[in-house]
Structure 1
């Protein structure tokens, strides 16, 4: 099939370049004489691929991310014409893109980049309001449309939020806004996510993206749109079917430590969330984890362990779709403060945040509705 496809492209180019330029000598002959035939055929085949087989001309886009103290990972995008730059979290736990605007009245906007719609020749305003709540705060604003550039890709007519108000929490964050990469079904106000437009506009070779998060503040974190890179992981990539298509939600069969079930006995639901720093879970499950590692609550309300015991603590093992995914104590314990990187959620839903993702290269596959997990290399 592959070779027939390539031969078809060659046949198409043969048909098109044999049109005579003038009587007695073809375009092919003239290009051959001028030494330009090879370059012409190469360019022509690429153009044919773009016209008749647009996915062949699509690409894989790699967006570097900055690791901010192992708590937040963000990359740089641009919006508008000429482009205005913003640092954003690529958040698999939400589906909207928003950035601060010059109309924002909150102090949280004042120390961040703000989008100026009057400075963009391609901006299209709407009167549709936007309101999004997160676990750490909320934002309100209005929707607009403009050109968005991510990882070298140009997405046209992209809807995004212009924040008018932001929670104080955001003033302490190194990023300007959020680019959600979850399913469109959870997007506020029916906004089409950036990733969906990347695919529908023929910019990607595959309908998936992948994430590698570095540890210990190191550089090298990336989100790759349209593919995944085998050098980031070792062993086999295990594919886990989604249990719901809104968040990137999967079923966890159990959570064990030292072979004993400490959470999710009989199974529970979890989301793989690049926008959450910690691992979070049900109150009973987290309480069992706290007891298993001997954590106690300090005056700040955080759960801490004896720093000398970290090296002897067992792995926290997530059993998912028949495969074990261990998270070592060096990951679920903050090495600087000996605090537990696991917290309770108000709902019976586990969140596998950055503490988990740093241990595993993650592929988010929209074609098959899978999450792929493999140990980092």
Structure 2
């Protein structure tokens, strides 16, 4: 996920869906001759787009005002998740990724046989599932599956099923109970999904299933989430987690996740240096307000702002088509075939995301993708004009968070972000910190 915790998904769709996106443009059969130069959208389309953005901004402002004046009490300022000696944490647990950083996963062992699965860390959804041994879809045959033959402790709940539609792909199946472990952590009698239907979108994805780290209110399965279980089984004492998402090309070692605490060594200035931004929980996702995008220091015309979802399960920057066009127009030589853009491989355009008055830079190393032409001149852009949600919202994946250390807190708390001490343009580990203090 080059653009993982910062796969910028500024989105619009027609049905409520989760933000996880197991998808990447297929360029294997691309003929560069079919690409065309980009042009500004028609005036009527641009007016419609701007109207939707204005309405979304007004809704965000109304709800933010309501949350600060509810019950005639001011909302308390968030408290940084400072570690105390008595706090319990999981300790660092190793993360792995594919060579292109499309996905980051933890190895989770299930049941009495301790069968291991690769589960993607996903802050864009709250549910956990693995493929069922009864699933005969190609997507299941391409991955590890789980069933009664794998564990003597596996039990099925009475007629309890689930069905989840993601931004790309869908799964459905039954709710089961079993033990699971990752790193030094072992949880007993955990409810999770056993998927008997998994769409083909997941076939080529390098993970077997999903470990949901989103809000409990976002759960489709309506069972205690992974974080709920960590608290109830007294593995951790705080609803906090920090994720270090590495970049494979830097060869700087694998990343890690820690539940129940944060790694202060990853924060320049320590935990007290964390900055907070208000959450928009309309979609029950980790959504904050983006003030603008700067391209080589100039505004890209996002002054009215956008809602962006900080999503560790998304590998691209997915934004409404008109916004994607805005971001690519200043990049000389950009070509397109619709929702996908292709840019010169040697582009050195610098992008910055502005939250409030704070700016966070994104290196071309993170948004320039694979080469698509024989001359090695044209590369896939990892910023895609594709809508993934019914509200005009963006989802930021690994691209943004490879640069920053972020702290997430549901209202009355907020998202936090601070620069990592290692976030130079050639090597910048990614950290996410989630601080759940209220639901």
Whole-Å Cα distance in 2 between the matches of residues 300 and 265 of structure 1? 25
Deviations 1:84-126 (A, max 9, x none): 2111001000111000111112121112111122442332212
C-alpha spacing 1:112/1:295, structure 2 compared with 1 (3 Å): same
C-alpha spacing 1:274/1:263, structure 2 compared with 1 (3 Å): farther
> Structure with the greater relative contact order (CA < 8 A, sep ≥ 6): 1 or 2?
2
User: What is the aligned length?
Assistant: 320
Gap regions ≥5 residues in structure 1 = 1-54
State whether structure 2 residue 261 is matched by structure 1 residue 227. yes
Q: Compute the displacement of 1:62 (Å).
A: 2.1
Residues 80 and 147, structure 1, Cα contact 8 Å, conserved in 2: yes
Q: What is aligned with 1:195?
A: 227
Give the TM-score, by structure 1 length: 0.78
Whole-Å Cα distance in 2 between the matches of residues 297 and 331 of structure 1? 19
State whether structure 2 residue 108 is matched by structure 1 residue 77. yes
Q: What is aligned with 1:294?
A: 332
C-alpha spacing 1:301/1:321, structure 2 compared with 1 (3 Å): closer
Whole-Å Cα distance in 2 between the matches of residues 299 and 241 of structure 1? 37
Q: Compute the displacement of 1:231 (Å).
A: 2.7
Whole-Å Cα distance in 2 between the matches of residues 354 and 278 of structure 1? 8
Whole-Å Cα distance in 2 between the matches of residues 81 and 268 of structure 1? 47
Spell out the pairing of 1:1-377 with structure 2 (5 A cutoff): 56=86, 58-68=88-98, 69-126=100-157, 127-217=159-249, 218=251, 219-235=253-269, 236-244=273-281, 246-294=284-332, 296-298=334-336, 302-308=340-346, 310-311=347-348, 313=349, 315-334=350-369, 336=371, 338-346=379-387, 347=389, 348-365=392-409, 369-376=413-420, 377=422
RMSD: 2.3
C-alpha spacing 1:164/1:344, structure 2 compared with 1 (3 Å): same
Whole-Å Cα distance in 2 between the matches of residues 125 and 329 of structure 1? 48
Bigger fraction of residues in strand: 1
C-alpha spacing 1:238/1:151, structure 2 compared with 1 (3 Å): farther
C-alpha spacing 1:116/1:209, structure 2 compared with 1 (3 Å): same
Whole-Å Cα distance in 2 between the matches of residues 370 and 156 of structure 1? 31
C-alpha spacing 1:66/1:263, structure 2 compared with 1 (3 Å): farther
C-alpha spacing 1:238/1:123, structure 2 compared with 1 (3 Å): same
Whole-Å Cα distance in 1 between the matches of residues 275 and 386 of structure 2? 27
Whole-Å Cα distance in 1 between the matches of residues 207 and 328 of structure 2? 31
Q: Compute the displacement of 1:336 (Å).
A: 4.7
Residues 279 and 411, structure 2, Cα contact 8 Å, conserved in 1: no
C-alpha spacing 1:266/1:299, structure 2 compared with 1 (3 Å): closer
Bigger fraction of residues in helix: 1
Whole-Å Cα distance in 2 between the matches of residues 349 and 307 of structure 1? 28
Whole-Å Cα distance in 2 between the matches of residues 90 and 180 of structure 1? 7
C-alpha spacing 1:204/1:366, structure 2 compared with 1 (3 Å): farther
Give the TM-score, by structure 2 length: 0.68
Whole-Å Cα distance in 1 between the matches of residues 109 and 232 of structure 2? 20
| Structure possessing the higher radius of gyration over alpha carbons | 1
Q: Compute the displacement of 1:300 (Å).
A: 9.1
Residues 253 and 320, structure 1, Cα contact 8 Å, conserved in 2: yes
Residues 90 and 185, structure 2, Cα contact 8 Å, conserved in 1: no
Residues 170 and 199, structure 2, Cα contact 8 Å, conserved in 1: yes
C-alpha spacing 1:85/1:61, structure 2 compared with 1 (3 Å): same
